[in-house]
Amino acid sequence: MAATKKTTRKSTARASDNVWTEEERAAMQESARERKAAGRRGSVDERAEGERDVRAKIAQMPTADRVMAERIHELVTTTAPSLVPRTYYGMPAYARDGKVICFFQAASKFKVRYSTFGFQPDARIDDGELWPVAFAVAELTPSSEARIAELVKKAAG
């Protein structure tokens, strides 16, 4: 009877080898769906459908995130009406010429302790040699709302 050879190779796939969290994978999948949908839209539909998508994402958020997202949406759309609402990796975002300028990341999106309001490179919020491009938002106060409005106005150019 022939001896069977045992495999000495160990499996290299482990749960800890995952580079992306479930939330990050979900965000990337949402981004792919968003790009596909954007490719089917005409420029006439872009603003209306983007507004609908943003409002739908906001409606899905837990209460605290939803209240903050609704207020930020109002701030951005009134401060910079030229920016087009859209989703960006499943988050409310605002674009110019098809490029995301700023976005709101709810704390619940990646299960972190604070929400984030961020800017992409096309925002041009440059301020000297070093400037922040994302801001932790723990609470919306008149002061933080004024700062967001100021930054959005600058970003929208």
Q: Where do the structural domains in the chain lie, given as residue ranges?
A: 21-156
Residue 98 CB contacts under 8 Å (≥ 6 apart), including other chains = 38
For residue 47 the two structure tokens come to 């603003």
In DSSP terms, 91 is beta-bridged to 88
More confident residue, 136 or 24: 136
> What does the pLDDT average to over 95-123?
96
Is 76 within 8 Å of 83 (Cβ atoms)?
yes
Q: How confident is the model at residue 26 (pLDDT cuts 50, 70, 90)?
A: confident
Is 125 within 8 Å of 119 (Cβ atoms)?
yes
Protein fold of 21-156? Aspartate Aminotransferase, domain 1 (3.90.1150)
Amino acid letter at 38? Answer: A
For residue 73 the two structure tokens come to 């949406």
Q: How confident is the model at residue 15 (pLDDT cuts 50, 70, 90)?
A: low
Q: What is the mean pLDDT of the chain?
A: 89
Q: What is the pLDDT of residues 75-95, one digit of tens each?
A: 999 999 999 999 999 999 999
Rounded Cα distance, 79 and 53, in Å = 20
The pTM for the full model equals: 0.77
Strands 134-137 and 91-96: unpaired
Q: Tell me what percent of the residues of the chain surpass a pLDDT of 70.
A: 85
Q: How confident is the model at residue 146 (pLDDT cuts 50, 70, 90)?
A: very high
